[in-house]
Structure 1
Amino acid sequence: MAIDAKTPSTEGSFIQKFTWCLWDAGSASVNAVATTFVFTVYLTSQAFGDQTASSQAVSTGMTIAGIIVALTAPITGQRADRRGKGTFWLAIFSAITIVCLAAMFFVAPDPKLLALGVGLLAVMTMFAEFATVNYYAMLPRISNADNIGKISGIGWASGYFGGIILLMFLNFGFISENNWFGVPTENGMGVRTAMLIAALWAFIFFTPVLFAVPGRVVPGSENLPRESIFKSYKKLFADIKWLFYNAPNVLYFLLASAVFRDGLSGVFTFGGIIAAVTFGFSAGEVIMFAVAANVVAGIATALFGILDDKIGPKKVMFISLVALVISCVAIFALHNGGKIIMWTFGLFMTIWVGPAQSASRSFLARRIPEGHEGEIFGLYQTTGRSVTWFAPLMFTLFISLGTALDGRAAEAIGESTQYWGILGIGMVLLLGLLLLIPVKEDHVVLGRQAAPAPPAGS
């Protein structure tokens, strides 16, 4: 691994940028449909037996998938880098993801088929994560230092808007009882058909980038010997050691981003729960809030992507995290103010989640040594996976703390202490913010040509 800041990166064409963003929209079939709102909800319904047991089965499957991703994502990216096969492996991993989505159609509501459903969900999750590593690795190849933030932001926003459109279409078109296409809801047919449509959606949006963005040319790669898994891990540890001594800023950032990205995920994971329990939102109101939140997040992420290129990704992350911490405190302090508090500060929070995620991606992409994009983004996925327990733990601990401190008073007035959980999410975000502060932004751009710095005071 070596530093080369002399050779400018060739910017991709409009078609390459456009199709790259489409892949993010296609990932809504995985993130919004399969793992969050549709298939996991279906698997944990009464149709599959005891709901506690089915929830545990889904959680176990996802945990195993997460562990495998954490252990192998860096070397899958590294091996693709070595031969310039990032696009090839993106195609393979995307295809397996699509097949798993389509196969979910065969998971009828029968406890005997729960294992099949969990297995498909776990395998899909693994290969979707592997695909994401190679997808992220394309970003430096289609952008330059002046527009990488904008492209990352538009891509991330595409994921939000894709999720909204796909979920609404699946719900009203196939899942609801009086659906548009007259699909019978008995025997889980509405959800099962929806998974076929989700697979088709993924195929339509995943495919274009595979033809538009070729793999990176690596001279002599066809003559490289086959490499064992052991050698891949040995090379990975050697590269991490190199980064520690030569580019520690990258490793510091991986740690900081892992923490605050878990907090960002917690905002959406627990936002609906807080809206329902603490603020008394009905199921319909929660859905409306979720739609509004995704619209706000999508617009904000696209706009802040432009700001990313103007002021730098670290400033975008810093501003976003500060705003999120303040919002958490405000929701906690004003929780007795009724639904308007959640609508106001909850939607205000969603302004900042996407920009922080997108800026995190662009910050790293600007600093990756050329030819190591897959490996470093693999580490990005690994570090993120390694702390996914943190935000849920802090949410639970702070609710327990709230119960211990004022549980009796809250019970006397018929109030839940669940609102204390928002402080737990705020603490995760605050810790991520504090870890981010020492990370230097004026670091050498590895393997890329940085845009000239603006004059002081401009």
Structure 2
Amino acid sequence: MPASLARGVTRREAWAWAMYDFANSGYTTVVITAVFSAYFVAEVAGGADWATLAWTSALSLSYALVILGAPLLGAYADAFACKKRLLLLSTLGCVATTAALALAGPGALALAVLFIVLSNFCFGCGENLIAAFLPEIAREDAIGRVSGWGWGLGYIGGLVSLGACLGYVAWAQAQGHGAAQFVPVCMLITAALFALASLPTFLFLRERARPQLQPGARHSAAVAWRRFARTLSEAGRYRDLLRFLACTLCYQAGIAAVITLAAIYADQAMGFTTQDTLLLILLVNITASLGAVSFGYVQDRLGHRPTLALTLLGWLLMVGLAWAAEGPPLFWLAANIAGLCMGASQSAGRAIVGLLAPPTRLAEFFGLWGQAVKLSSILGPMTYGLTNWLSGGDHRLAILITGGYFVLGLLILASVDLKRGRRAALAERPTDT
């Protein structure tokens, strides 16, 4: 492991960085995917016809806020060398608003929407900021495997949080408690585990960046605007990064559709029970962890672009199997292929951005990556939902159309020259703001 790390980075610091992936994954697994989403629709919104739309709209609003704010937040972090400070603030915000979801009982729709928007916004900001540390802790030729360690540990963190919540739910149901009693406690458990598991990050991860300002410059949002305006004016210099962000938008849209709607597809097209679906989520998290770690090593040996292309082909295989599946066995195979490819493709994408981002503007450029990922989180599920609606509820057609995003991703990826993009990133000269 030390041979994979940049000079001056210890094993403990690399572990502390990866622990943030472990910490924040409980939020997405429990709140967004497995527990609070269903509770919101069934209990908070009372199972109304508009309940699912209210949930997806709240998530879309939070993603839109990240899209608008992420590059500016990153530009501010680079200018004042305060990635870690802003990461702490976003973490405290996500932990506090996740805990506050415990207040959103049946009928408390406005409260639930408010706290889901705020918590998911804080989560998205923290996700971008922690990613911006990756090029500082990993050697250039090992950035894939280090990214893979983080993603792999992250999926394990999601399993730990989900397991803790499911254990409590089983106990609560045995005591005769309903969802209105045990889901709020699950939110408190998730928030507490997030706070506890992120402590190593703030204790041991170092802020290596240096302020890029004239001496005595005041902290001001105008600084972030000027830096971001400069990035937009020089966009042509980073054409390979821009192409890769377009590639990311496409393939992440496909991934977002699969993640968001897998449980619905399993229920509607495959006839899975709730227990079957929860088991599916658990197993997919395990295969995703294995995919992230193993493909991280493949990425550093085979190359970043070929490895990502291989995972996108794997996604297309998954789509084909899910479309063709008439019963559980083939669908289980498709789901586990999705898990392997999910961990691998997300880890690979983060590593490639680390190579293409100028060393003096890491947080800003990872903010642009965050923009693409969050926009895809709106685009992919909406495409699936509209296809399903227009086809009269044909989930198989919807998953097939979703596969088109992976095809587009492959086509755009073919035009990305990583060596040229890396030269452009290293040619960047720091300037005072």
Q: Distance in 2 between matches of 1:220 and 1:139?
A: 20
Asked whether the 8 Å contact 1:73–1:381 carries over to 2, the reply is: yes
Say if 1:127 and 1:362 are closer, same or farther in 2 by CA, change over 3 A.
same
Choose which of 113, 116, 129 in structure 1 pairs with 2:111: 116
Q: Distance in 1 between matches of 2:53 and 2:280?
A: 28
Say if 1:47 and 1:61 are closer, same or farther in 2 by CA, change over 3 A.
closer
Q: Distance in 2 between matches of 1:231 and 1:86?
A: 15
Choose which of 268, 281, 305 in structure 2 pairs with 1:314: 305
Equivalent residues in 2 for 1:60-99 (5 A)? 60-99=57-96
Structure-2 residue corresponding to 1:194: 186
Pairing 1:158–2:153 present: yes
Say if 1:335 and 1:174 are closer, same or farther in 2 by CA, change over 3 A.
closer
Question: What displacement does 1:296 show?
Answer: 1.1
Q: Distance in 1 between matches of 2:356 and 2:121?
A: 26
Q: Distance in 2 between matches of 1:106 and 1:383?
A: 32
Structure-2 residue corresponding to 1:452: none
Choose which of 31, 34, 40 in structure 2 pairs with 1:34: 31
Say if 1:228 and 1:262 are closer, same or farther in 2 by CA, change over 3 A.
same
Choose which of 229, 251, 255 in structure 2 pairs with 1:264: 255
Choose which of 236, 240, 250 in structure 2 pairs with 1:245: 236
Equivalent residues in 2 for 1:176-191 (5 A)? 177-178=172-173, 185-186=177-178, 188-191=180-183
Say if 1:305 and 1:400 are closer, same or farther in 2 by CA, change over 3 A.
same
Q: Distance in 2 between matches of 1:217 and 1:322?
A: 37
CA RMSD of aligned residues (A): 2.4
Q: Deviations over 1:23-48 (max 9, x none)?
A: 10111232111222222322222354
Choose which of 333, 347, 363 in structure 2 pairs with 1:344: 333
Q: Distance in 1 between matches of 2:61 and 2:315?
A: 31
Choose which of 434, 437, 446 in structure 1 pairs with 2:414: 437
Q: Deviations over 1:219-275 (max 9, x none)?
A: 575835235445533431321332x33221111111111111111122222222222
Asked whether the 8 Å contact 2:90–2:123 carries over to 1, the reply is: yes
Say if 1:222 and 1:115 are closer, same or farther in 2 by CA, change over 3 A.
farther
Bigger CA drift: 158-167 or 382-391? 382-391
Amino acid at match of 1:162: G
Q: Deviations over 1:186-210 (max 9, x none)?
A: 5722111111111110011112111
Give the alignment's TM-score, normalised by structure 1.
0.85
Asked whether the 8 Å contact 1:175–1:191 carries over to 2, the reply is: no
Structure-1 residue corresponding to 2:140: 145
Asked whether the 8 Å contact 2:9–2:137 carries over to 1, the reply is: yes
Structure-2 residue corresponding to 1:335: 325
Structure-2 residue corresponding to 1:214: 206
Structure-2 residue corresponding to 1:358: 347
Pairing 1:325–2:316 present: yes
Give the alignment's TM-score, normalised by structure 2.
0.90
Question: What displacement does 1:11 show?
Answer: 5.4
Bigger CA drift: 225-234 or 138-147? 225-234
Pairing 1:375–2:367 present: no
More helix per residue:
2
Q: Deviations over 1:259-309 (max 9, x none)?
A: 111111222222222222222222222222221111111112111111111
Question: What displacement does 1:421 show?
Answer: 1.5
Q: Distance in 2 between matches of 1:386 and 1:261?
A: 9
Aligned length: 422
Q: Deviations over 1:344-402 (max 9, x none)?
A: 23322322121011000001101211121110011111122233333224324544676
Choose which of 422, 432, 453 in structure 1 pairs with 2:399: 422
Asked whether the 8 Å contact 1:24–1:158 carries over to 2, the reply is: yes
Asked whether the 8 Å contact 1:398–1:423 carries over to 2, the reply is: no
Asked whether the 8 Å contact 2:248–2:373 carries over to 1, the reply is: yes
3-state SS, counterpart of residue 217 of structure 2: coil
Equivalent residues in 2 for 1:390-429 (5 A)? 390-399=379-388, 417-429=394-406
Q: Percent identity?
A: 22
Question: What displacement does 1:154 show?
Answer: 1.3
3-state SS, counterpart of residue 358 of structure 2: coil
Bigger CA drift: 431-440 or 98-107? 98-107
Say if 1:307 and 1:124 are closer, same or farther in 2 by CA, change over 3 A.
same
In the alignment, structure 1 segments of 5+ residues that lack a partner are 1-7, 404-415, 450-458
Q: Distance in 2 between matches of 1:442 and 1:187?
A: 53
Q: Distance in 2 between matches of 1:164 and 1:400?
A: 33
